[in-house]
Amino acid sequence: MSTVHQATWELLRALGVRKVFGNPGSTELPFLADFPDDIDYVLGLHEGAVVGMADAYAQSTGEPTLVNLHTAAGLGNAMGAIINAAAGHSPLVITAGQQVRAMLTLEPLLANPDPTALPKPAVKWAFEPPRAQDVPAALARAFRYAGLPPAGPVFVSLPMDDFDQPADEGGTDLLAARRVTGRSVAARAELDRLAQRLAAARNPVLVVGAGLDAAPGGFDAAVALAERQRLPVWLAPETARVGFPTDHPYFRGSLPSAIAWVSESLAGHDLLLVVGAPIFQYYPYAPGNYLPAGAELVAITDDPGAAARAPVGDALVADPGLTLVALAEIVPPTNRPAPRPRVPLKIPRAADTLTASQVYDILGPLFPPEGIVVTESMNGGAAMWDRVKFRQSGSFFFCAAGALGFALPAAIGAQLAQPNRPVLAVTGDGGAQYGIQALYTAASRRMPVTFLILVNGEYGILKGFGDYLSTTGVPGLDLDYLNYEALAKGYGIRAVRTGRPDELAVALKEAFTAADGPHMIIVDVQPGVQLEH
């Protein structure tokens, strides 16, 4: 007779689990015991880093990804990263150990007293199996549900004494054999209506969001539709992924992230087709019109919540990729003129210290065509979109809920998922501290990730936001002393520090060509943040 332990691992293997991202504690030992040789345990030294790695891995592969955390404390440590994963529609199956069932009523040390409440509202579903024998079925349900649209994290609590219990007779074959899919295309009548609206529009525009990059085929479908209809293409505000090649002549840039600014940027357009994004992911509050005068909006999203809460426009709830493919096939070619060429951003040269925009000016031509950027930095954002080109799907990841501690771990997850593509993590001297433990994982696995730290000695964006809000006298915005060379050394990562353009170029070239482990490039940049140029 097999045990719950055997049945669980049989099921996990059958579900295609190849990696487990985790940080162990005593409550996890029975689950992790006799760990299979053919599954890779990716150790992170803090639960935020564990989930950040798993998040980008899950987003890059599109596969539900298993995470194992340490009871309430480990889950609590991970919450910021889980909030990013939820906003990023990352299909994570997060598990955590739980104390022995026989003691749970007493709330012993390491109990998770309310395990299904703790991860909410960042998970779609949280569960503790009612019996030991239900662990495999609960995990099977978790894997299916995490991946169904809108994808997102789920949570299963695993009492530590469940694993040596006898499993239910009958094995896990029925559970493992199920095929559950959730991608669907919009109804034909809706597609016809949308194709007609698009064809009849005088000056339509396409806005692409993270959901398009996440949907297989979405990236190419966006190109096909944009070319057939000659649509200028913008990225949705603060997009977490890039669903359109940014070296394409129709690419316009990233929309600004406030209500009034979006409508100003899109003035003159009469139809906005927004695919794979909510309407919209705003950041500063600058009230105004949601849309330019006279414009209409149609959104295609697989997230019913996003469709329901949009303040304006129509919405089709369907797979953004499949729906765009279908739309591109039925919409007629247009005789509208092609979008005019974009004027490249002028990036002024700083006299002594680099600006973040100049860093991107230098990075742009050196960035490998198949490169991936994983970032949580807004410093120099406009220059990044202008100079750094993303040419294929899965090339860009940003912290979807704005929680710092993403870039360093997520770069590792992206690299694990796409081992042959160069990965660059970008963060500030403040942001790097929230996910710094990820450096251990990169170093111990000798992963060729490049970590670029923009050091301005402050929480620069917060000072900039303070100016916008006219706040004065806010404490805690300066970072007096952080020795990133010493930190890199402590984690076993080679590092260079520079404030000079020529040295930065050399360091970047070296990092992108070396395949023998991680590099850190510490760049001294001017105080403040460059958002416009």
Ligand X SMILES: Cc1ncc(C[n+]2csc(CCOP(=O)(O)OP(=O)(O)O)c2C)c(N)n1
Which parts of this chain interact with ligand X (CB under 6 A)? 80, 377, 379, 402-405, 427-431, 434, 454, 456, 458-462, 529
245 touches, from Mg ion, ligand X, none (C-beta below 5 to 8 Å by class): none
CA distance 216 to 7: 32
Residue 524: C-alpha distances to residues 53, 98, 423, 496 (Å): 27, 45, 21, 11
Q: Is residue 129 involved in binding Mg ion (CB under 5 A)?
A: no
Least Cβ distance, residue 414 to ligand X (angstroms): 19
Residue 88 binding result from Mg ion, ligand X, none, given CB thresholds of 5 to 8 Å by partner type? none
- Find, among 460, 457, 454, the residue nearest to 521 by Cα: 454
Residue 461 binding target from Mg ion, ligand X, none, CB below 5 to 8 Å by type: ligand X
Place of tokens 């996890």: 28
- With CB under 5 to 8 Å by kind, the binding choice for 402 among Mg ion, ligand X, none is ligand X
Least distance CB 136 / Mg ion (angstroms): 47
Q: Where does this chain touch Mg ion (CB under 5 A) — which range of 22-30, 77-85, 363-371, 457-465?
A: 457-465
Q: Which is nearer to ligand X, 95 or 375 (CB)?
A: 375
CA 134/CA 119 separation, integer angstroms: 21
Shortest Å distance, C-beta 346 to Mg ion: 24
Q: How many helices (H) and strands (E) does the chain have?
A: 19, 18
Residue 429 binds to Mg ion (criterion: CB under 5 A): yes
Binding segment for Mg ion (CB under 5 A), chosen from 1-9, 177-185, 426-434, 504-512, is 426-434
For residue 254, what are its two tokens?
Answer: 């990233």
Task: Give the H or E element holding residue 519.
Answer: strand 519-524
| Piece of the chain touching Mg ion by CB under 5 A; list 162-170, 212-220, 407-415, 428-436 | 428-436
* Nearer to Mg ion among residue 175 and residue 487 (C-beta): 487
Six-digit token string for 187: 């109804």
Q: Are 124 and 305 in contact (CB under 8 A)?
A: no
Nearest Cα residue to 393 out of 447, 321, 451: 321
Rg over alpha carbons for the chain, rounded to the nearest Å, is 24
- The conformation of residue 121, written as its DSSP 8-state character, comes to T
Pick the piece of the chain touching Mg ion (CB under 5 A) from 85-93, 214-222, 408-416, 420-428.
420-428
Among 159, 218, 428, 448, binds Mg ion (CB under 5 A): 428
What is d(CA 92, CA 57) in angstroms, rounded to the nearest whole number? 9
Is 376 among the residues that bind Mg ion (CB under 5 A)?
Answer: no
Residue 483 DSSP SS3: coil
Nearer to ligand X, 223 or 462 (CB): 462
Task: Judge whether 240 and 390 are in contact, CB under 8 Å.
Answer: no
- Going by their DSSP bridges, the two strands 251-254 and 271-275 should be labelled as unpaired
Q: How far is the CB of 462 from ligand X (least distance, A)?
A: 5
Burial class of residue 105, CB neighbours in 10 A (0-12, 13-18, 19+): exposed
Choose, by CB under 5 A, the member of 52, 430, 435, 518 that binds Mg ion: 430
456 part of the interface to Mg ion, by CB under 5 A: yes
Q: Please state the closest distance from residue 380 (CB atom) to ligand X, in A.
A: 8
Strand order in the sheet with 65-69: 40-43, 19-22, 65-69, 92-98, 154-159, 126-127
Residue 113: name its binding partner from ligand X, Mg ion, none (Cβ under 5 to 8 Å by kind): none
Using CB distances below 5 to 8 A depending on partner kind, what does residue 404 bind out of ligand X, Mg ion, none?
A: ligand X
- Residue 377: name its binding partner from ligand X, Mg ion, none (Cβ under 5 to 8 Å by kind): ligand X
435 lies in the site for Mg ion, by CB under 5 A: no
Nearer to ligand X, 379 or 395 (CB): 379
Copy the structure tokens of residue 263.
């409508």
C-beta closer to ligand X: residue 138 or 452: 452
| Binding residues for Mg ion, total number by CB under 5 A | 5
Is the CB of residue 404 less than 8 Å from the CB of residue 376?
A: yes
CA distance 208 to 219: 9
Find the shortest distance in angstroms from Cβ 228 to Mg ion: 43
Closest-approach residue to ligand X (CB): 428
Taking residue 149's Cβ as centre, other Cβ atoms within 10 Å add up to: 22
Minimum distance from residue 304 beta carbon to ligand X (Å): 27
- Which residue has the CB atom at the shortest distance from Mg ion? 428
Q: Of 61 and 357, which CB lies nearer to ligand X in the complex structure?
A: 357
Residue 349, Cβ neighbours under 10 Å: how many? 9
Residues within the interface to Mg ion (CB under 5 A): 428-430, 456, 460
